Amino acid sequence: MTQHPTLGIGLAGFGTVGSGVWNTLHRNGALITSRTGGGVSLEVERILVRDPNKSRATTLDADPGLLTTNWRQLVDDPKVEIVVELIGGTTTAFDIAEAALQAGKPVVTGNKALLAERGIELFALSRETGVPIHFEAAVAGGIPIIRTVMDSFVGNHIQSFFGIINGTSNHILGRMTDAGLTFGEALAEARSLGYAEADPTLDVNGWDAAHKAILLATLAYGFPIDPGAVHVSGIEQVRPMDIAFATRLGYAVKLLAVIREHAEGGVELRVQPSFIPNSHILASVHGVFNAVAVNSDAAGESLFYGRGAGQDPTASSVVADLVEAARGARHVESHRGFLPYRETGALIPVEDTATSYYVRFDVTDRPGVIADVARILAERGIGISGTHSPVNPDDPDADFVDMVFLLHTCPFGRLQGALAEIEALDCINSTPVVFRIETLA
C-alpha cells in the first residue's frame, strides 16, 4: 500500500463553504489520513478568489501565494489533482468543471444549479473522459443523501422521495406556525438571523428545492430531467390562516419535494407547499433542518435528517467527496474496508458517566421509609427533584408499594453506591430499577 501520497486540491471559491473546507482539512486532516489507513492525505495547492486583497477571517492562514484570480491557473496547475468548484453560478463554474474533466482531474462541487441545469453535458463529459464528478454537497448540505442513493441503495428500486430540502423555507414556515408571524415578518427575521440569503428568491419560490429534487430524481431513475418540465411553487402565498387551518386538522405545513415513480411508468416530480400529517416523522423536522424520506423496494422506509446548509455541514460533504475522489485517483491504493486506526483508547467507566435518573423501589410500606432513602441520597450529595409514593392509589393499604424518585444529575457510580446502601434496608424488597434521563445534547 502506498503510504501517504499527498493529493493536491484546487479550491475554486473561498467564500463560506470554501473556507469551511479549508478549516475542516486543517482541523481533521490527520484524522482523515489515519482513518484511510494512511491512504489519503489532502493538501490545498491553489485557491481561486475574486479579490486577493480582501481581508479573510484570521483563522484562515492560507499562504497568499496559493491565491489566484485566474481559474485556468488553478485547473492547469500540475500540483492540482482534484478540482473543487464552489463559486456558484452556471457559466464560469461550468467552464471550470469542463476543463478539469478534460484534464483528467476529478471534480467536487456543491453547485446544485449547475448540475440541475447543465448536468447532462457534464455527466456526458464525465463518461467520455472516465473522470468522476462528486456532488454530495449539492443536496441537503451535511446529509449524505447522494452517497446513500448511489451506493447504499444501489440494489434498490426507489419508489419515492419526500423531501424537506430548503431550510430557509422550513424555518419561515416554522416561525409562522410557532409565533404566528406573517410570511413577510418571518422572512425578515430569517434574514436578520442569517438563515436567508440577501436574495432569498430561489429559497422561497421553491427553485432551490427543485434543483435538489432534480438531482435526486436523476440519481434514482438515471435519466436527464428538463428543469422546465418540473412543477414548482413556493411559500410566498402562505398565510397564517392557512397554517392555523392545517394545525386544526392535524397537519404541519411544509415546502415538500415529491418524487415518485408510478407503477405504470413515469416519474412524478414537484415542489409545492403541502399539508403533511403531524404523526409522520417528517413533521418533526423543524427550523433550518432538512430531511429526505426514501421508500425503496428492499430497504423499505428510511429517513435522512440533518443540517441542509451552512459552512461546516456543507464542508463535511465536500471533504467526504474529496476522500472519495482521492481513493479513485489512480496512484492511491487505499484499503476500502474498515481498519482500526488507533492502537488504544479508553472507555470511560460507567461509574463516571452522569445523567439525571428515575429510580423505582419496591418497598414494604412502613413509617420512615422515605426518610431513610432520602437520608442516604442526601449523605451522598444526590439531589431529589421529585418523589412519588405510593404510585398505585387503587390499593392505599397495600403493604408493598412502588416508590419512585427523580434524581438530579450525578455520576452513575455515586448513584450505585447509594442504591446498594438503600437495597440493604429491611424495607426494600428487590434491586432498585434505574432509568437514565437523557437530554440528548
Catalytic residue IDs: 212
219 SS3 class: helix
Q: Which is nearer to a copy of itself, 339 or 378 (CB)?
A: 339
* Residue 337 near a copy of itself by CB under 8 A: yes
CA-to-CA distance for 325 and 339, rounded, in angstroms?
20
Which of 304-308's residues contact partners 24+ apart within 8 Å by CB, and which partners? 304/140, 304/143, 304/144, 304/145, 304/148, 305/143, 306/140, 306/141, 306/142, 306/143, 307/141, 307/142, 307/143, 307/167, 308/140, 308/141, 308/142, 308/143, 308/165, 308/166, 308/167
Given 189, 312, 365, 421, the residue binding a copy of itself (CB under 8 A)? 312
11 strand-pairing partners: 47, 84
Complex with a copy of itself: residue 198 or 348, whichever CB lies closer: 348
- 408 is an interface residue for a copy of itself by CB under 8 A: no
> Residue 218 has which C-alpha cell?
436523476
The minimum distance between CB 99 and a copy of itself, in angstroms, equals 17
Number of chain residues interacting with a copy of itself (CB under 8 A): 142
For a copy of itself, the binding residues in 228-287 under the rule CB under 8 A are: 229-231, 233, 237-239, 241-242, 245-246, 249, 251, 253, 256, 258, 262, 265-270, 272-277, 280-282, 284-285
* Position 44 contacts a copy of itself (CB under 8 A): no
Is residue 436 part of the contact set for a copy of itself (CB under 8 A)?
yes
Within positions 345 to 384, which residues make up the interface with a copy of itself, using CB under 8 A?
A: 345-348, 350, 353, 358, 360
Instruction: Give CA–CA dist 147/62, Å, rounded.
Output: 30
CB-nearer residue toward a copy of itself: 8 or 306: 306
| Closest C-alpha to 405, from 377, 381, 426, 425 | 377
| HSE-up (13 A, CA, CB side) for residue 195 | 22
The stretch among 82-90, 185-193, 299-307, 375-383 that binds a copy of itself (CB under 8 A) is 299-307
Residue 226 sits in the site that holds a copy of itself (CB under 8 A): yes
Q: Between 194 and 367, whose beta carbon lies closer to a copy of itself?
A: 194
2 binds a copy of itself (CB under 8 A): no
